[in-house]
Amino acid sequence: MSRIIYLDHAATTPVDKRVFEKMKPYFTELFANPATRWTSSISKKVDEAVEEARKNVAVLINALPEEIVFTSGGTESDNAALKGVAFANKDKGNEIITTPTEHEAVLKSVESLQDFGFVIKYVPVDRKGFVDPDDVKKLITSKTILVSVIHANNEIGTIEPVREIGAICKERNVLFHTDAVQTIAHLPVDVEQMNIDLLSLSSHKFYGPKGVGALYIRKDVPIVPYMNGGGQERGFRSGTLNTTGIIGLGEAAKLGKKEQKQRENSIAEFRDIFLAKILEEIPAVYLNGPEGDRRLPGNISIIIQGIRNEPLLVALNEKGIIAGGGSACSAGKKNPSHVLQAIGVPEEDLFSVIRITIGKDNKKEDIDFIVENIKETTNQLRALSPFWEG
């Protein structure tokens, strides 16, 4: 296969070879069900590996192992957190606060709760996608039971002031959930320091396998289980454990903890060089979201005015460069991005977005080649475009 430059790490990451090696024996000789650990020595070994993974995930976010529940990924964790907390606390109040720039897993979950009498309040975001913690404070009433604010936006990379929002929630005795799917192992996350009660994470965003994730639930948070059955995961999430996936997630968490700073630095350096170059080389290009430290290290979301993103992405793909449109998570939708709309990107630019998300194995030596290809295709598309008068 010819060389591929993969630049869509916010959509998913490759499984790290070390993670894959760790998982392998659990597909074959160590296949047993950890639930039968009292009677079977293979099960006991698998159970120990699962608990080791739980510890690694807990250490990564400064939680206790018993506060980690394994799930099938970010979507399930978000659903479980929001619905579980809403139903467990409905006697206390019916108001939930969130933002218009959440991932669909949060937005659709809270929308579904409206049918059960819950009222959803949306805290506004500014032109860069930031929530003002004071606006959260203003929306909290005696009926508020939960606030959910994404840690960093998957489309535009804005890192929200989660710690300040968590402190406000703690002071007002309101539970606080964050979707940290894009930040785990990419930025330091500490649930204690950040006053987080519930946190969603997903393995495939940090070099682990797909279809597995975790929900952190602080001890004593009132929450109802939504998946009933055999009582696995301390009764919160029934179903035979995805042992290989969990073991992969645990290994990815361990490596993520060890290598986080180094990855963050080299990825942010790639981002800054790339961004400077693309803004210099191509006219009428602008960045969505903030610059610098308040942006995810690996995220570049730009509007290239006067073109549509699909032909550009297809042409780049032909050259072996894989980048993204706004977001990958809403399976082939043609609607404009709700995030770009919420931050006020003009209507005519909504389909001109490309998202480049950098990973630990991208090479700075490739930047010139990538920018050259984007420039060449942009020039060709603009020459054909009835909307481009440059």
Give the binding range for ligand PLP (CB under 6 A) out of 38-46, 132-140, 179-187, 263-271. 179-187
Structure tokens at 353: 């977005």
Q: Per rule CB under 6 A, is residue 202 in the interface with ligand PLP?
A: yes
Mark out the alpha helices in the chain (DSSP H runs): 17-23, 41-61, 74-88, 104-114, 133-139, 162-171, 243-281, 309-318, 338-342, 367-384
Q: Per rule CB under 6 A, is residue 154 in the interface with ligand PLP?
A: yes
Q: How far apart are CA 350 and CA 314, in angstroms?
A: 18
* Contacts to ligand PLP from residues 206-225, by CB under 6 A: 213
Q: How far apart are CA 166 and CA 193, in angstroms?
A: 9
DSSP-derived 3-state class of residue 85:
helix
Question: How many beta carbons lie within 10 A of that of residue 187, not counting itself?
Answer: 16
Of 202 and 377, which CB lies nearer to ligand PLP in the complex structure?
202
Cα–Cα distances in Å, from 142 out to 96, 146, 169, 358, 380? 11, 11, 12, 43, 57
Tokens 């400077």 correspond to 276
Give the binding range for ligand PLP (CB under 6 A) out of 45-53, 55-63, 67-75, 332-340. 67-75
Q: Per rule CB under 6 A, is residue 179 in the interface with ligand PLP?
A: yes
In the complex, least distance from residue 70 CB atom to ligand PLP, rounded to whole angstroms: 12
Per-residue contact flags (x/-) with ligand PLP for residues 72 to 111, judged by CB under 6 A: -xxx--x------------------------x-x------
**Which residue in the shown chain puts its C-beta closest to ligand PLP?**
74
Of 182 and 242, which CB lies nearer to ligand PLP in the complex structure?
182
Of 42 and 329, which CB lies nearer to ligand PLP in the complex structure?
329
Give the binding range for ligand PLP (CB under 6 A) out of 139-147, 174-182, 267-275, 332-340. 174-182
Q: Per rule CB under 6 A, is residue 248 in the interface with ligand PLP?
A: no
Of 43 and 101, which CB lies nearer to ligand PLP in the complex structure?
101
Structure tokens at 274: 């790339």
Q: Is-catalytic flag, 329? A: yes
Please tell me the count of residues contacting ligand PLP according to CB under 6 A: 14
Could you write out the DSSP letters of every residue in 307-370?
S-HHHHHHHHHHTTEE-BSS-STTTT--SPPHHHHHTT--GGGTT-EEEEE--TT--GGGHHHH
Q: How far apart are CA 260 and CA 250, in angstroms?
A: 15
20, 329, 351, 366: the catalytic one is 329
Question: How many beta carbons lie within 10 A of that of residue 171, not counting itself?
Answer: 11
The DSSP symbol for 295 reads B
Give the binding range for ligand PLP (CB under 6 A) out of 38-46, 70-78, 139-147, 168-176. 70-78
Q: Which long-range contacts (CB under 8 A, 24 or more apart) does 338-341 make?
A: 338/100, 338/101, 338/107, 339/101, 339/129, 339/153, 339/155, 339/156, 340/155, 340/156, 340/288
Q: Per rule CB under 6 A, is residue 34 in the interface with ligand PLP?
A: no
Q: What residues contact 376, with CB distance under 8 A and at least 6 apart? A: none
Q: Which of 329, 341, 349, 375 binds ligand PLP (CB under 6 A)?
A: 329
Of 172 and 210, which CB lies nearer to ligand PLP in the complex structure?
210
Of 342 and 367, which CB lies nearer to ligand PLP in the complex structure?
342
Give the binding range for ligand PLP (CB under 6 A) out of 31-39, 157-165, 175-183, 350-358. 175-183
Q: How far apart are CA 81 and CA 301, in angstroms?
A: 29
Of 95 and 155, which CB lies nearer to ligand PLP in the complex structure?
155
Give the binding range for ligand PLP (CB under 6 A) out of 178-186, 259-267, 271-279, 377-385. 178-186
Q: Per rule CB under 6 A, is residue 157 in the interface with ligand PLP?
A: no
Per-residue contact flags (x/-) with ligand PLP for residues 224 to 243, judged by CB under 6 A: --------------------
Of 154 and 195, which CB lies nearer to ligand PLP in the complex structure?
154
Q: Is 14 exposed, middle or buried (0-12, 13-18, 19+ CB in 10 A)?
A: middle
Structure tokens at 207: 């070099």
Please give the residue ranges that form the binding site for ligand PLP (CB under 6 A). Answer: 73-75, 78, 103, 105, 150, 154, 179, 181-182, 202, 213, 329
Please list the active-site residues. 329
